[in-house]
Amino acid sequence: MYNKQLILIRHGESTWNKLNRFTGWTDVELSNQGKKEAQLSGQILKKKKINFDYCYTSLLKRAIHTLWIILNELDQVWLTVKKTWRLNERHYGNLQGLNKDEIATKYGDKIVNQWRRSFTSVPPKMKNTDNWSSCNDERYKNLKNNEIPSSESLELTLNRVLPFWKNNILPKIQQNNRILIVAHGNSLRALMKYLSHLNNEEIIDLHIPTGVPIVYNLNNTLCTPMKYSFLKNDE
């Protein structure tokens, strides 16, 4: 029996998505297109009469602003929202800020595809002194040094997402609360790998479009592999 629903949404297109740059933990804004995607996502949820009890997002404004726009469309801006670094995008290390096509030309498509899509590959690490390092960022001041990544694989991303899922989100779902998570392509890919029991090969082909709601109808045990579907405007 399926009586619990979870909605996942990747933030709308960001300014660096538009420029085809690796973003990671760099805090960039939504593009105009991304704002429209977020608005449409909210309209789709409203049309389907899907409302929420709790919302979760990252500490990065492209996800936070996407959530704001969606809640405004749903007339649910009053909802409790929990922000956490554990839902941040995967940290892309020294690739952050660089154009993906230029990096592929430099290192070759094969190695760049491994960095981007595989479960275990870790991009070149960023130094704490680099311009886009998060070590001196005010929002992470309460984290331990070993909690702030210098680069991450999808596996490492899952390792930080999963404790928050188990300790914070899952108990709310088990109490029959309706949950919305607005996060990032790879923090959501990591969570979906866990929820749907995807193997290391299957996760390579999982692409999450910006601004499209993903629906999980959850069973009572949440132990078996769970199916998901993308909620499109024409459905």
Order of strands across the sheet with 80-83?
A: 80-83, 54-57, 179-183, 2-10, 214-219, 228-230
- Identify whether 29 is a catalytic site residue: no
Provide the phi-psi class of 4: left if phi over 0, else alpha when psi is between -120 and 50, else beta: beta
Helix then strand then coil, in percent of the chain rounded to 5, is: 40, 15, 45
The token pair at 62 is 């492209």
Tell me the CA end-to-end span of the chain in Å, nearest whole number.
Answer: 23
Q: Which element (helix H / strand E) includes 81? A: strand 80-83
The token pair at 105 is 């030309």
Distance CA 60, CA 68 (A): 13
Catalytic residue among 73, 89, 91, 152: 89
Contacts of 124 (CB under 8 A, 6+ apart): 93, 94, 95, 151
- Identify whether 147 is a catalytic site residue: no
Catalytic residue among 11, 65, 91, 184: 11
Distance of CA 12 to the CA centre of its chain: 11
Q: Which residues does the annotation mark as catalytic?
A: 11, 89
